């Protein structure tokens, strides 16, 4: 396991303006987010809808420009590179897999076409070896026999097979980093595990650094080494996944854990307290903890000062005045 981080995210923020010119407000979709992605490790980015987790992935894929902060790839800031060649070079190292395997493939092109394109554009192999490489990629993601699959059109494949094609396409450029945004949420439950196992195999065999964006804590625990929990645009807890899930610090992580059905203890459904407060308020947020309104542990300080991410246990940090108080 390598310790060098090929991707370092530092104080990344993204604000979207909403409303009219006279009543302009900003959604703080991503606010002061920092983390590293390391080779051979899967980092899960977990949160509910609107938490900003997909925006983080899109910022890293350079589909959006950040409002603040930087993304260091092998030491240089790529968040703002504009030159075509630089963008192309970055994109050949950082690939994204989307949620919808139906929308991300061109219906009138064969599978071969989808895999050849990145090989040609990024000059991965000499022209004479393209066919061979296409077949190898299909074998890698478990689509056999490759000659047959390559000649098919997307509609001839099942959802799970299409997602495998999307993964093969991402792998074509031999990326160091793969951003997977809810790659299994549109697939049938019986084939989700297959995609997750493929991710694990790729991280082990190819030393790829994965960012696995999901709302599903159980699948995060299944594949990931580290976890980042997002709430209302901020990372509220981070750490090694087993540590965080077996003994969470942040009250929001605890709430999420209690809310998820766990087949391992099915007959002991935990009762959660129903709170009236609105979820994830990130429109022009006032100072203070964004979870304060829903939090059972709230103290006076919480509505006054935004908690910092504090390492309360080795490797495990949380943004909470109560469970991870700042020492300074």
Partner 1 sequence: MIAPIEESAVARTSAETLLELRELEVDYGIGDKRVRAVDGVDLEIRAGEIVGLAGESGCGKSTVANAAMQILRPPAHLVGGSVIFQGEDLVGKSTEELRRFRWRNVSMVFQSAMNALNPVMRVGDQFVDMMQAHERISKRRALGRAADLLEIVGIDRQRVRAYPHELSGGMRQRVIIAMALGLRPELVILDEPTTALDVVVQREILQQVQDLQRELQFAVLFITHDLSLLLEVAHRIAIMYAGEIVETAPAARLATEPQHPYTQGLLESFPPLSGPRARLTGILGAPPDLRDPPSGCRFHPRCPHCLPERAGLYARQTSERPLLREIAPRHSVACHLVEEEGAA
- Interaction between residue 231 and partner 1 (CB under 8 A): no
Among the listed residues 1, 21, 22, 267, the single contact to partner 1 using CB under 8 A: 267
- Interaction between residue 18 and partner 1 (CB under 8 A): no
- Interaction between residue 246 and partner 1 (CB under 8 A): yes
Q: Is the peptide bond before 68 cis (omega within 30 degrees of 0)?
A: no
Closer CB to partner 1, residue 10 or residue 215? 215
Size of the site for partner 1 (CB under 8 A): 45
Among the listed residues 28, 176, 192, 319, the single contact to partner 1 using CB under 8 A: 192
Q: Least separation, in Å, of the C-beta of 193 and partner 1?
A: 3
Q: How far is CA 17 from the centre of its chain?
A: 23
| Nearest by Cα to 45 from 236, 304, 177 | 236
Sequence-separated (6 or more) residues with CB below 8 Å from residue 56: 9, 12, 30, 33, 45, 211, 213, 230
Angle at 128 between CA 126 and CA 131, to 5 degrees: 105
DSSP assignment of 152-208 equals S-GGGS-HHHHHHHHHHHHHHT--SEEEEESTTTTS-HHHHHHHHHHHHHHHHHH--
- Interaction between residue 259 and partner 1 (CB under 8 A): yes
Closer CB to partner 1, residue 83 or residue 265? 265
Among the listed residues 4, 265, 287, 327, the single contact to partner 1 using CB under 8 A: 265
Q: Least separation, in Å, of the C-beta of 255 and partner 1?
A: 6
- Interaction between residue 326 and partner 1 (CB under 8 A): no
Sequence-separated (6 or more) residues with CB below 8 Å from residue 15: 26, 27, 28, 29, 67
Tell the residue number behind the tokens 């990130």, with chain if given: 282
| Nearest by Cα to 138 from 157, 111, 159, 105 | 111
Q: Least separation, in Å, of the C-beta of 73 and partner 1?
A: 31
Among the listed residues 271, 287, 327, 328, the single contact to partner 1 using CB under 8 A: 271
- Interaction between residue 58 and partner 1 (CB under 8 A): no
Closer CB to partner 1, residue 50 or residue 307? 50
Interaction residues for partner 1, span 306-325 (CB under 8 A): none
Q: How far is CA 234 from the centre of its chain?
A: 14
Other Cβ atoms within 10 Å of 270 Cβ, number: 11
**Piece in contact with partner 1 (CB under 8 A), picked from 11-19, 25-33, 74-82, 267-275:** 267-275
Interaction residues for partner 1, span 128-167 (CB under 8 A): 158-161
- Interaction between residue 65 and partner 1 (CB under 8 A): no
User: For residue 10, which phi and psi values (nearest 5 degrees)?
Assistant: -125, 120
Tell the residue number behind the tokens 């909470």, with chain if given: 320
Q: Least separation, in Å, of the C-beta of 179 and partner 1?
A: 21
- Interaction between residue 43 and partner 1 (CB under 8 A): no
Closer CB to partner 1, residue 22 or residue 264? 264
Give the Cα separation of 60 and 291 in Å (integer): 26
- Interaction between residue 248 and partner 1 (CB under 8 A): no
Angle at 67 between CA 61 and CA 72, to 5 degrees: 50
Closer CB to partner 1, residue 95 or residue 234? 234
- Interaction between residue 22 and partner 1 (CB under 8 A): no
C-alpha R_g of the chain? 21
- Is residue 319 within 8 Å of 310, Cβ to Cβ? yes
Q: Least separation, in Å, of the C-beta of 210 and partner 1?
A: 16
- Interaction between residue 213 and partner 1 (CB under 8 A): no
Residues making contact with partner 1 (CB under 8 A): 48-49, 158-161, 188-194, 196-197, 215, 217-219, 221-222, 242, 245-246, 255-272, 274, 278-279
């Amino acid at each position: 396991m390598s310790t060098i981080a090929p991707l370092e995210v530092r104080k990344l923020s993204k604000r979207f303006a909403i409303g009219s010119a006279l009543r302009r407000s900003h959604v703080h979709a991503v606010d002061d987010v920092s983390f590293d992605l390391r080779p051979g490790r899967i980092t899960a980015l977990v949160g509910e809808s609107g938490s900003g987790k997909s925006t983080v992935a899109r910022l890293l894929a350079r589909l959006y420009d950040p409002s603040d902060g930087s993304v260091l790839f092998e030491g240089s800031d790529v968040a703002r590179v504009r030159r075509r060649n630089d963008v192309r070079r970055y994109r050949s190292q950082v690939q994204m897999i989307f949620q919808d395997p139906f929308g991300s493939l061109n219906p009138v092109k064969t599978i071969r076409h989808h895999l050849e394109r990145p090989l040609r554009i990024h000059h991965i192999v000499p022209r004479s070896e393209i066919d061979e490489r296409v077949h190898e990629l299909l074998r890698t993601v478990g689509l056999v026999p490759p000659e047959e699959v390559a000649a098919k059109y997307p509609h001839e494949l099942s959802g799970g097979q299409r997602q495998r094609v999307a993964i093969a396409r991402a792998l074509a450029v031999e990326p160091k980093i793969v951003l997977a945004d809810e790659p299994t949420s549109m697939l049938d439950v019986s084939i989700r595990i297959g995609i997750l196992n493929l991710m694990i195999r790729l991280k082990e065999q190819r030393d790829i650094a994965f960012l696995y964006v999901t709302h599903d804590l159980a699948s995060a625990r299944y594949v990931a080494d580290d976890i980042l929990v997002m709430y209302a645009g901020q990372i509220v807890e981070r750490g090694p996944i087993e540590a965080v899930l077996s003994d969470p610090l942040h009250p929001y992580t605890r709430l999420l854990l209690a809310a998820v059905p766990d087949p391992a203890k099915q007959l002991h459904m935990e009762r959660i307290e129903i709170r009236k407060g609105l979820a994830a308020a990130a429109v022009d947020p006032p100072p203070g903890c964004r979870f304060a309104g829903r939090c059972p542990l709230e103290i006076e300080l919480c509505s006054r000062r935004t908690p910092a991410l504090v390492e309360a246990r080795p490797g495990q940090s949380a943004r909470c005045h109560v469970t991870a108080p700042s020492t300074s």
